[in-house]
């Protein structure tokens, strides 16, 4: 763990919102688990008493909102807002992580990292600066007992991180950055010489070299800055010095992939789209659609 991440974790652990969650995670019963790598990341627990089952469920409920998943932990099914295996299964045919050093930037609760264990990488490191998602990761990892490293750091910290990776995933982060080219430069700085980067980001249709800049919100999300055409995304990658831009897939977001469940607090996709025209967001912009790409140095 980097010194900066250690300090961030220590200070986050003291925050009013997070402190009770850390205490709950620290008090979870010690139970061994077997992992099954299905679309639902499954931990089979042995000998869970009704009292322990209730402690585990209360902790998981306190950790809402669960954006990424799903997870099955013993009898408990965490039906996350996103069916994250859809994204994972789009990317899966395009990578081979065996013996690779792998980073997931913006890893959320680590769902993809947990799934990637099956690929037998040399090392798995997740980066995400949001304390709640770190807590969710620790909740799952309390039972899974993996060697995945979770850094409470952002993409902007990669240049100083000091370690490079063979494969980097940066999924659903680029549109949150007000400086997407700077973000791509940070990602490049953390790649080994023959490394590869997997990205997904919102795109708009068209062949022009342009990007949509939402006025305030996009799909009710306040921190969406640039939504490029695929050509513009390629131009950004070219400018940073990435080669071999490969478009893997373009996929609109549907309610199969993102929907309201009891495991999130607040709204989901059905509230973000124009109720009379689902091809538009509630603000009148083109509805969410993602491009999945692979680039290398
Ligand atoms: C839309 S979610 C995408 C999560 C996941 N990568 C996926 O594709 O399903 C964006 C994630 O980026 C994280 N994030 C926020 N600021 C970040 C930063 N500066 N660097 C990296 N990740 C960040 C958020 O905490 C959140 O987990």
Question: Which of 176, 190, 251, 258 to mutate to test ligand 1, by most ligand atoms within 8 A of the CB atom?
Answer: 176
User: How does residue 2 score in pLDDT terms, banded at 50, 70 and 90?
Assistant: confident
User: For 115-123, what is the mean pLDDT?
Assistant: 98
Confidence of residue 96 (pLDDT cuts 50, 70, 90): very high
Mean pLDDT of the chain: 96
Tally of domains within the chain: 1
By CB neighbour count within 10 A (0-12 exposed, 13-18 middle, 19+ buried), where does 35 fall? Answer: middle
Residue 14 or 288, more confident: 288
Closest residue by Cα to residue 228 from 248, 243, 244, 250? 250
| 269-293 confidence digits (pLDDT tens) | 999 999 999 999 999 999 999 999 9
Ligand 1 contact, 173 CB (< 6 A): yes
Nearest of 65, 94, 70, 36 to residue 257 by alpha carbon: 70
- Kindly state if the Cβ of 83 falls inside 6 Å of ligand 1: no
Report field, pTM of the whole predicted structure over 0.85: yes
Q: Confirm or reject: Cβ of 69 under 6 Å from ligand 1.
A: no
> From the CB of 105, is ligand 1 less than 6 Å away?
yes
Query: Rounded distance, CA 286 to CA 264, Å?
Result: 25
CATH of the domain at 231: 3.40.50.150
Q: How far is the CA of 195 from the centre of ligand 1 (A)?
A: 21
**Ligand 1 pocket mutation, candidates 69, 106, 182, criterion most atoms within 8 A of CB:** 106
Main-chain phi, psi angles of 227, to 5 degrees:
-120, 100
Is residue 131 in contact with ligand 1, taking CB distance under 6 Å?
no
**Closest-lying ligand 1 atom to the alpha carbon of residue 108:** 27
pLDDT in tens, 187-217: 999 999 999 999 999 999 999 999 999 999 9
171 lines ligand 1 (CB under 6 A): yes
Mean pLDDT along residues 94-121: 98
Q: In which domain, by residue range, is 196 found?
A: 3-296
Predicted local confidence at residue 107, as pLDDT: 98
């Amino acid at each position: 763990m980097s010194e900066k991440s250690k300090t961030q974790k220590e200070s986050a652990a003291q925050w009013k919102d997070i402190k009770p969650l850390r205490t709950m995670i620290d008090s979870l019963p010690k139970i061994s688990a077997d992992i099954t790598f299905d679309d639902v990341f499954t931990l089979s627990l042995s000998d869970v008493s009704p009292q322990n089952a209730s402690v585990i469920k209360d902790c998981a409920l306190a950790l809402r909102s669960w954006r990424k998943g799903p997870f099955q932990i013993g009898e408990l099914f965490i039906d996350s807002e996103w069916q994250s295996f859809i994204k994972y299964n789009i990317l899966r045919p395009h990578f081979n992580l065996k013996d690779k050093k792998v980073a997931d930037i913006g890893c959320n609760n680590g769902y993809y990292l947990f799934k990637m264990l099956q690929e037998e990488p040399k090392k798995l490191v997740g980066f995400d600066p949001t304390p709640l998602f770190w807590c969710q990761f620790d909740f799952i990892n309390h039972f899974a007992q993996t060697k995945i490293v979770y850094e409470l750091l952002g993409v902007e910290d990669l240049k100083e991180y000091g370690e490079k990776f063979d494969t980097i995933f940066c999924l659903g982060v680029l549109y949150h950055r007000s400086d997407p080219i700077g973000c791509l430069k940070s990602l490049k700085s953390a790649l080994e010489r023959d490394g590869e980067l997997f990205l997904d980001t919102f795109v708009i249709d068209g062949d022009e070299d342009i990007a949509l800049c939402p006025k305030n919100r996009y799909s009710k999300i306040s921190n969406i800055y640039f939504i490029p055409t695929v050509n513009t995304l390629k131009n950004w990658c070219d400018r940073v010095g990435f080669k071999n831009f490969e478009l893997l897939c373009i996929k609109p977001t549907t309610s199969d992939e993102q929907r309201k469940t009891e495991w999130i607090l607040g709204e989901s996709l059905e509230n973000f789209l124009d109720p009379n025209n689902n091809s538009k967001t509630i603000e009148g912009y083109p509805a969410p659609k993602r491009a999945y790409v692979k680039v290398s140095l």
